[in-house]
C-alpha cells in the first residue's frame, strides 16, 4: 500500500489513537496499524483504571489543594531522581507539569471525558499533594470516547485502520523513514505500507517477561523465578529493536514500573496473566518465609521501594488481613474489577465506598488461586503452607508477627509502628479516610474470617524507551532526529525516552501517552 501523504501510526493504544485523532482532525490522512484484533482496539488504556496526574486543576482547587507546576516539578524531580543533566527526560517532565492542565485535562473535557470530583493521593513519598484524577468510567470509557471521536463519520475518509498487521521493520528512502513492513497475524501474508512518516505507538517492553528479565533493574537483585504479566501481550520490544536497527537511541530500558502485589488471573488472556492488587494498608506484609518485613513495607507510599525489597527477598510475599480490612481496602488495579466506576453507577460506587466492596472480595475468594481464608490463625497458616512449600513458610514466625502487630494496636502503641503511623497519616486526607480502615487487629473476632494473599511481582510499565525530543521525533545516538520517525506513549518512555526518571508519581502513564501523542501530531501538522 502506498499513500504518499498519509502518516502511518503503528499501535492502536491510547497514544496511537490520540495521535491519529489529532491528525485526522487537522485534515491529515492516517493509516493506523495494529497487530491485535479490532476487538482490542484501545490497548492497555481500555484495561486501565484511568488515573491521570494533573497539576493545579479546578478539582484540586475545589478541595483547597495548593498545587503548581513548580511544586509538581520539584516532587517529580526528587522522586524520579532527575535533573537538568538528564536531558530530554528532564525537559519532558518540565513540559508535562506546565502544560498538562491545558493539554490533557482540558483537552479530555473537550472530548466529553469526565472525572471523579476528588483527586486521590497516591505515591505519597513522591506527591506532596493529591494529584491523581480518575476518569469517571475508568480507562475503558476513556478509550471508548477517543475511539468514538476518531471514528466519527466526518473523519472516515481520512482514516484507514488495519488490524492483525504486525510491523517488524521500517522502510527507508535516502535515510528518511517512509514506511514499514511486516506480516499479517491472520494469514501470514507479508505487506509493505508507505507514507509520509511513521509514528511508533507500539507500547513498552514489559509485556514480554523475557525482556523484563533481560533489563531487570540492578537495585532489585536477581529477577525472581516467577513473574506475572500485567502489560500488553504484544508490548514485546519488536519495534524498539527496529528503531535500534536504523540507528535510533533507546534509553533507560532498565527503568520499569512493576508492582509488588500480583496474583494470578483465573481466566488468563495471556501467559502468566496477573492482576495487580492495590496493597491494603492494614494488612500485615510478610516475606516468603513468613517474617514481617523490617522495617515494615508500607502501602501507598513508594511502589518502587516495595518491588525492590520484595524482589531482593526472592519475589514472593504474603499479606495477612481480615474480612473487615479487605472490604474497606482491598482493590484490584484497572477497569475489569471496578464495575461501579467503569459502568458509571454512582449509587453502587457510593455503596462500595461506605460498606466495602463485597462483590470483589467474594469474587477473589471464589476464584483467585492465591487467596485463602480461615476462621483461626493455625488453620490459616496450614492453608498458606499447603499453597506454598510447608518447609519454607515458618508458621511460628507468622503467628508471632500477627500477635506483635495486634498487641501494638490493643496497647495503643501505634506511634512505635511505622505501618500504624502510615494508616493514621492516610486517614488525615478525606479521600483516603473512607478507603482506609481504622486500626484493626488482624485477629479481632468480629472482623473475620482471616485472609492470606500470596503475591508475586507483576510487570507493568516501561519507564524507558525510544529517545525523543519535545516534538516526539525519534533521535539517533547523536541526538539528531531520524527523518520521518516519531515515537509516542509507552514506546517513548512516555516522552523523551524516560520522562519519569527512576520513579513515577503515577498517572503520568496515560497522561504521558496523551501528552506525547499530541506533541507528535502538532509537529507533523506543522512539518
Residues that bind ligand FAD (CB under 6 A): 10-16, 33-36, 43-45, 47-52, 139, 166-167, 201-203, 230, 232, 234-235, 238-239, 333-334, 461, 489-491, 507, 509-511, 513
DSSP letter for each residue of 136-194:
TTHHHHHHHHHHHHHT-GGGGGGEEEE-SEEEEEEEEETTEEEEEEEEETTT--EEEEE
Residue 462 to residues 155, 378, 485, Cα–Cα distance (Å): 32, 41, 20
When the beta carbons of 139 and 217 are compared against ligand FAD, the nearer one is: 139
When the beta carbons of 16 and 496 are compared against ligand FAD, the nearer one is: 16
Shortest Å, Cβ 392 to ligand FAD: 30
Shortest Å, Cβ 319 to ligand FAD: 19
Pairing of strands 371-374, 132-134: unpaired
Report whether 431 contacts 323 (CB < 8 A): no
When the beta carbons of 131 and 292 are compared against ligand FAD, the nearer one is: 131
When the beta carbons of 179 and 441 are compared against ligand FAD, the nearer one is: 179
Shortest Å, Cβ 73 to ligand FAD: 18
In whole angstroms, what is the distance from residue 240 CA to residue 249 CA?
Answer: 9
Of the candidates 46, 8, 35, 34, the one whose C-alpha atom is nearest the C-alpha of residue 147 is: 46
Shortest Å, Cβ 468 to ligand FAD: 13
Shortest Å, Cβ 381 to ligand FAD: 31
The pairs formed by 359-368 with CB atoms below 8 angstroms and a separation of 24 or more are 360/330, 360/331, 360/332, 361/323, 361/326, 361/327, 361/330, 363/337, 364/263, 364/330, 364/332, 365/451, 367/266, 368/263, 368/264, 368/266, 368/275
Of the candidates 237, 218, 219, 160, the one whose C-alpha atom is nearest the C-alpha of residue 194 is: 160
When the beta carbons of 194 and 417 are compared against ligand FAD, the nearer one is: 194
When the beta carbons of 47 and 287 are compared against ligand FAD, the nearer one is: 47
Shortest Å, Cβ 454 to ligand FAD: 20
When the beta carbons of 324 and 342 are compared against ligand FAD, the nearer one is: 342
Shortest Å, Cβ 299 to ligand FAD: 16
When the beta carbons of 330 and 452 are compared against ligand FAD, the nearer one is: 330
In whole angstroms, what is the distance from residue 274 CA to residue 207 CA?
Answer: 11
Tally Cβ neighbours within 10 Å of residue 439.
19
* Torsion on CA atoms 8, 10, 13, 14, rounded to nearest 10: -40
In whole angstroms, what is the distance from residue 67 CA to residue 75 CA?
Answer: 11
How many Cα neighbours within 13 Å face the side chain of 506? 28
Shortest Å, Cβ 200 to ligand FAD: 9
When the beta carbons of 270 and 383 are compared against ligand FAD, the nearer one is: 270
When the beta carbons of 280 and 511 are compared against ligand FAD, the nearer one is: 511
In whole angstroms, what is the distance from residue 304 CA to residue 17 CA?
Answer: 29
Shortest Å, Cβ 237 to ligand FAD: 9
* Joined grid coordinates for residue 105: 485535562
- Residue 153 preceded by cis peptide, ω within 30: no
Report whether 475 contacts 247 (CB < 8 A): no
Shortest Å, Cβ 492 to ligand FAD: 8
Shortest Å, Cβ 182 to ligand FAD: 6
In degrees rounded to 5, what are phi and psi of residue 124? Answer: -65, -20
When the beta carbons of 207 and 441 are compared against ligand FAD, the nearer one is: 207
Amino acid at each position: 500500500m502506498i499513500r504518499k501523504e498519509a502518516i502511518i501510526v503503528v499501535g492502536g493504544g491510547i497514544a496511537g489513537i490520540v495521535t491519529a485523532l489529532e491528525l485526522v482532525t487537522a485534515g491529515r490522512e492516517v493509516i493506523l496499524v495494529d497487530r491485535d484484533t479490532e476487538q482490542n482496539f484501545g490497548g492497555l488504556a481500555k484495561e486501565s483504571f484511568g488515573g491521570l496526574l494533573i497539576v493545579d486543576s479546578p478539582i484540586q482547587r475545589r478541595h483547597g489543594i495548593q498545587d503548581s507546576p513548580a511544586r509538581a516539578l520539584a516532587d517529580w524531580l526528587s522522586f524520579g531522581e532527575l535533573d537538568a543533566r538528564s536531558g530530554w527526560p528532564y525537559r519532558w517532565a518540565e513540559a508535562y507539569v506546565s502544560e498538562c492542565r491545558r493539554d490533557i485535562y482540558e483537552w479530555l473535557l473537550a472530548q466529553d471525558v469526565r472525572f471523579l470530583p476528588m483527586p486521590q493521593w497516591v505515591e505519597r513519598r513522591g506527591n506532596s499533594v493529591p494529584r491523581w484524577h480518575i476518569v469517571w468510567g475508568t480507562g475503558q470509557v476513556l478509550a471508548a470516547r477517543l475511539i468514538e471521536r476518531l471514528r466519527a463519520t466526518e473523519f472516515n475518509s481520512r482514516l484507514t485502520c488495519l488490524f492483525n498487521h504486525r510491523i517488524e521493520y521500517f522502510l527507508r528512502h535516502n535515510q528518511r523513514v517512509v514506511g514499514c513492513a511486516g506480516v499479517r497475524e491472520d494469514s501470514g501474508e507479508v505487506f509493505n505500507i508507505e507514507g509520509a512518516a511513521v509514528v511508533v505507538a507500539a507500547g513498552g517492553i514489559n509485556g514480554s517477561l523475557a525482556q523484563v528479565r533481560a533489563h531487570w533493574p540492578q537495585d532489585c537483585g536477581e529477577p525472581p523465578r516467577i513473574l506475572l504479566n500485567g502489560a500488553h501481550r504484544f508490548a514485546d520490544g519488536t519495534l524498539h529493536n527496529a528503531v535500534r536497527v536504523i540507528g535510533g537511541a533507546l534509553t533507560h530500558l532498565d527503568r520499569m514500573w512493576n508492582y509488588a502485589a500480583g496474583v494470578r488471573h483465573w481466566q488468563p488472556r495471556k501467559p502468566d496473566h496477573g492482576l495487580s492488587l492495590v496493597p491494603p494498608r492494614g494488612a500485615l506484609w510478610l516475606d516468603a518465609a513468613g517474617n514481617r518485613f523490617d522495617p515494615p513495607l508500607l502501602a501507598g507510599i513508594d511502589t518502587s521501594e516495595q518491588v525492590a525489597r520484595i524482589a531482593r527477598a526472592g519475589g514472593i510475599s504474603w499479606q495477612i488481613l481480615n474480612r473487615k480490612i479487605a472490604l474497606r481496602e482491598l482493590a484490584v488495579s484497572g477497569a475489569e474489577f471496578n464495575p461501579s466506576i467503569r459502568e458509571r453507577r454512582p449509587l453502587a460506587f457510593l455503596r462500595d465506598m461506605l460498606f466495602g466492596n463485597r462483590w470483589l472480595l467474594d469474587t477473589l475468594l471464589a476464584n483467585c488461586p492465591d487467596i485463602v481464608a480461615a476462621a483461626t490463625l493455625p488453620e490459616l497458616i496450614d492453608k498458606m503452607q499447603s499453597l506454598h512449600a510447608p518447609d519454607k513458610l515458618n508458621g511460628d514466625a507468622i503467628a508471632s508477627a500477627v500477635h506483635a502487630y495486634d498487641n501494638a494496636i490493643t496497647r495503643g502503641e501505634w506511634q512505635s509502628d511505622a505501618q500504624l503511623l502510615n494508616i493514621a497519616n492516610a486517614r488525615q486526607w478525606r479521600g483516603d479516610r473512607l478507603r482506609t480502615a481504622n486500626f484493626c487487629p488482624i485477629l479481632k473476632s468480629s472482623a473475620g474470617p482471616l485472609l492470606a494473599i500470596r503475591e508475586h511481582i507483576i510487570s507493568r510499565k516501561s519507564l524507558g524507551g525510544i529517545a525523543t525530543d519535545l516534538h516526539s521525533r525519534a533521535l539517533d545516538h547523536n541526538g539528531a532526529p531520524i527523518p520521518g520517525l516519531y515515537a509516542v506513549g509507552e514506546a517513548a518512555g512516555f516522552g523523551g525516552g524516560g520522562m519519569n526518571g527512576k520513579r513515577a508519581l503515577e498517572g503520568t502513564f496515560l497522561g504521558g501517552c496523551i501528552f506525547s501523542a499530541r506533541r507528535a501530531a502538532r509537529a507533523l501538522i506543522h512539518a
